[in-house]
Amino acid sequence: MISSPSAGFSRAQHRFFAFCVAPSLAVLALITLLPALYLLATSFTQLSLTRPETQWDFSQPLESYRQLLSDSRLHNSVWVQIKLSFWTVLLQLLIGLLLALLLNIRSRLLEALRTVFLIPMVLPPIVVAIIWKVIYTPDISPMHGIFRSLGWNVPALITDPNWALTSIIIADTWEWFPFTMLMVLAALQMMPQELLDAAKVDGASPWQLTRHITLPFIRGVLLVAGLFRLIDSIKAFPLIFILTDGGPGSLTEVTNYYSYLQAFNFSFLGFSSAITVALLAATIALSWLIVRLVGWGAKID
């Protein structure tokens, strides 16, 4: 039996904890908080690398933000972003959920298959982009080969205005459906077995079990998974960079990509910073929602 620790212990512990946390907080402040403030400051300038005198020129602090409201290409990018986010999140939740339900049966084979299904998610994003570049390039694509042997004349999807965004959505869904699958599987394993057994005794069909017991149980997990994917979809970059370069026209140009073009192709870093500040605000708001949903904050405060 351990006696309750002395006051000396808790004082020493307090000092020790502060000593442990301080370096991390200092480094985090230096490498994340300071740059975020720098970004905010830059967004109040008209910084363009071709005109160095614009670097710290705050004479028209809100000019970049005024431009946000009037730039139609930006508005188009927001619309593209909404379409991309909506479809990828929806499809990933749906496919991930169905696969998880399918794989949640005790069997050696299915457990091995779970690992196989993870591969798209763990591949480096640039490799995923290369894989889909191959599939979408008619000369070498097995998909187009099959289309040709069926006598179908299918255009190159990534350069076709009607298909470009869809082809990105397909690739992104392929990359990330395992994430939902994993989360749902993890949740399913925590499901109280007694609940299912009781329902089975009462004569519930597999469909009724899924509909009335399983789905309500994993609703929260689906929501959190959806939020994580939603935040990530705002960062979509490698697929668009490799597959379509935002084109044709600006049909696949999401906001993040447009901000990249403004900063590093047109070197309007001031304007790009303003766009990025808006993106960052959206990310922080969604993260806050996750923290609330998961209850991390409540646990600590």
Contact with other proteins (CB under 8 A): which of 16, 79, 86, 266?
A: 16
113: region left, alpha or beta (phi > 0 left; psi from -120 to 50 alpha): alpha
C-alpha 113/C-alpha 276 separation (Å) is 40
C-alpha 210/C-alpha 230 separation (Å) is 26
Selected range binding other proteins among 58-66, 85-93, 129-137, 155-163, rule: CB under 8 A: 129-137
Number of shown-chain residues binding other proteins (CB under 8 A): 104
Residue 53 engages other proteins in binding (rule: CB under 8 A): no
C-alpha 33/C-alpha 197 separation (Å) is 51
Helix, strand, coil shares, percent, the chain, to 5: 75, 0, 25
CB count in 10 Å sphere of residue 236:
22
Find the binding residues for other proteins in span 213-252 (CB under 8 A).
Answer: 221, 224, 228, 231-232, 234-235, 237-238, 241-242
In the complex, least distance from residue 136 CB atom to other proteins, rounded to whole angstroms = 10
Contact with other proteins (CB under 8 A): which of 94, 125, 156, 217?
A: 125
Nearest to other proteins of 2, 201 (CB atom): 2
Residue 139 engages other proteins in binding (rule: CB under 8 A): yes
Contact with other proteins (CB under 8 A): which of 70, 72, 107, 265?
A: 107
Find the binding residues for other proteins in span 20-49 (CB under 8 A).
Answer: 20-21, 23-25, 27-28, 31-36, 38-39, 42
C-alpha 121/C-alpha 199 separation (Å) is 35
